[in-house]
Structure 1
Amino acid sequence: MQDVVDKYGVLLVFANVLALSLGLPVPAMPTLVLVGAGLALQPEATWLPLLGVLAVSVAASLIGDSVWFYAGRRYGNRTLQSLCRLSLSRDTCMKHTERFYGRFGIRVLSVAKFIPGLSMVSVPMAGAMQARLPSFLRYDALGAALWAALGLGLGVAFSRQVETVIDTLSQLGTGAGVLVGVALAAYVGWRWWRRRTLLAALEAARIEPSELEALRLAGQPPVLFDIRAPGFRDVDPYVIPGAVFADERELGGILATYPRDGKVVIYCACPDEVSAAWMAAKLRKAGFRDVLPLRGGIDAWRGAGYGVERIGG
């Protein structure tokens, strides 16, 4: 282990952290732990090398995150949705990030790397929200430093245990690596299969933008819920005419306000209308007879040439 850390430790940290920041599914925390443990086992002082590795890790994070920051600034919602499609938890990916960002703003970047899913989307959301570059760099660097310091610190604190694990795996040979790879592939496969099964169940019913427009023109507009989080409405401050803002976490108010025999249409800003489909399922379970997500959300509505209204306009 010592030879690997001496020869390739800094390079491995830079490559792993940069790849992770760019969105590739590669683990970087284990590399930080391994390098921290290797440096702690050196006979000479380790603080200066640790600070050097910390600086390299922060630099790699800033390089990768800056790519997504500018992608979010230029392409907005398209970047966010593309990233959420890569997530194994796409039903919560966008919504959680919207809520965290709406509550804490750019400061969320200081803790985003510690929260699964949030780290993937918070950076391009900062760009989409037109955050100032100095603020982005300051909070993103703080978050990257805290995250890397945790990994290196764990390696230093448990250096002997890490060395024992590495030695044991070395004795087991390639079989250990194969076993770890199979376990990881099985976990990802299970999550993917569960997500596909869920999406297939939720895909059963949708309303097309043309159908919604036909109802409006016929004087039979349904109750229309916009369930995008407040933070995301700042990115795209428009609504479909007649839409009412709603929160799927507060179904009590909806149940008390709207008749359950009326038609309800829901739209969100998430891939495949997953959040809207979730809420539709909850409303059906509560007794609503006719609830449908709008296929493609407000983007599909605009793409079909139908009008929108500016919030507060």
Structure 2
Amino acid sequence: MDLTQITDSLQRDAVWVVFVNVLMQQVGLPVPVVPTLLLAGSLVLDAEQMARLLAAAVLASVFADWLWYLAGRAFGYRVLSGLCKLSINPGSCVTQTEARFVRWGLASLVVAKFIPGFSTVAPPIAGALRMSQVGFLIAAGFGAALWAGLALGVGWLMRHEVQVAIAYLDRHVSTAATIVVAVLAIWLGWKLWQKYRFRRLSGLPHITPAELVEALQTTNAPLFLDLRGPTIVAQTGGVAGATVAEL
């Protein structure tokens, strides 16, 4: 199937394609949903069709966010810990994500879609923090409408350029595929290097738990900070001898 056939298929089933793409991306699958929204927007013929596409995107996004919210409400920070395992530093991922959410509150759900990675981890944090479900759905819906509406709108405004780009890619599929693969390889290599660098830094000598306990019992006890987020502290309890602090 060439790009022209893909475009024709999208034009016929645009609402379902947008719904499925957004849903898959919001549950955490690596689906390139923004290009889909741009392409769908470029094919819009009237306001009614645009409204249907926007509604499909918002419903899919809010539904996925709601599922993550329920998971966070039921399982707490363990959900976030699981999502953060793929990050370079899982520990700081949990703490920083929670701190960002606590600092921004409902506004974090509005801007979450525009921050790579944050759109998936924000809903379970909202659930873990017992945010009002009504407030969560309103904020998630507003953020989804803003995000999807912007992508669809840009696609419609640049509909001529999008179609020209599709025609060009259709004529140079192999070149485009090579560029995409090269970009992905560079990005993956960068991420692997960052993870390797972090592991090297984390491999530096550290004090053992036994040594820490012994040091805390001396007259010149070291300053021991607990930098975990409030949700984790509330669910697992504080660390003896530690002072709770925030990054």
Could you say whether these structures have the same fold, taking a TM-score greater than 0.5 normalized by the shorter chain as the test?
A: yes
- Change in 2 beyond 3 A, CA 1:240/1:76: same
SS of the counterpart of 1:65? helix
Q: Please, which runs of 5 or more residues in structure 1 have no aligned partner?
A: 249-313
- Count how many residue pairs are aligned between Structure 1 and Structure 2: 242
Tell me the residue number matched to 1:222: 222
Pairs within 5 Å for 1:242-261: 242-247=241-246
Contact 2:18–2:36 (Cα < 8 Å) also in 1: yes
AA aligned to 2:28 is G
1:14 and 2:19 matched: yes
Give the Å deviation of 1:165.
Answer: 0.6
Instruction: Indicate the percent of aligned positions where both proteins have the same amino acid.
Output: 35
Is 1:5 aligned to 2:10, yes or no?
yes
More strand per residue: 1
**Residues 1-313 of structure 1: matches in 2 within 5 Å?**
1=4, 2-39=7-44, 42=45, 46-87=46-87, 90=90, 93-216=93-216, 221-229=221-229, 232=231, 235-236=234-235, 238-247=237-246
The 1-side partners of 2:86 and 2:37 are apart by: 24
Judging changes above 3 Å, is the alpha-carbon distance between structure 1 residues 88 and 212 closer, same or farther for their aligned structure 2 residues?
A: closer
Task: Name the aligned partner's letter for residue 243 of structure 1.
Answer: A
- By how many angstroms is 1:124 displaced? 0.6
Give runs of ≥4 in structure 1 deviating > 6 Å. none
Aligned 8 A contact 2:128 2:231 in 1: no
| Alpha carbons of structure 1 residues 135 and 34: separation in structure 2 relative to 1, 3 Å | same
Q: Are the equivalent residues in 2 in contact too, given 1:227–1:247 (CA < 8 A)?
A: yes
3-state SS, counterpart of residue 43 of structure 2: helix
**Are 1:96 and 1:118, in contact at CA under 8 Å, matched by a contact in 2?**
no
Q: CA deviation at 1:191?
A: 1.5
Cα RMSD after superposing both structures: 2.5
Question: Structure 2 vs 1, CA of residues 87 and 178 (structure 1 numbering), >3 Å: closer, same or farther?
Answer: same
In the alignment, is the contact (CA less than 8 A) between 1:21 and 1:65 conserved in 2?
A: yes
Q: Which region of structure 1 is more displaced relative to structure 2, 71-80 or 100-109?
A: 100-109
SS of the residue aligned with 1:24? coil
Whole-Å separation in 1 of the counterparts to 2:107 and 2:239 = 31
**Aligned partner letter, 2:225:** F
**Higher percent of residues as helix:** 2
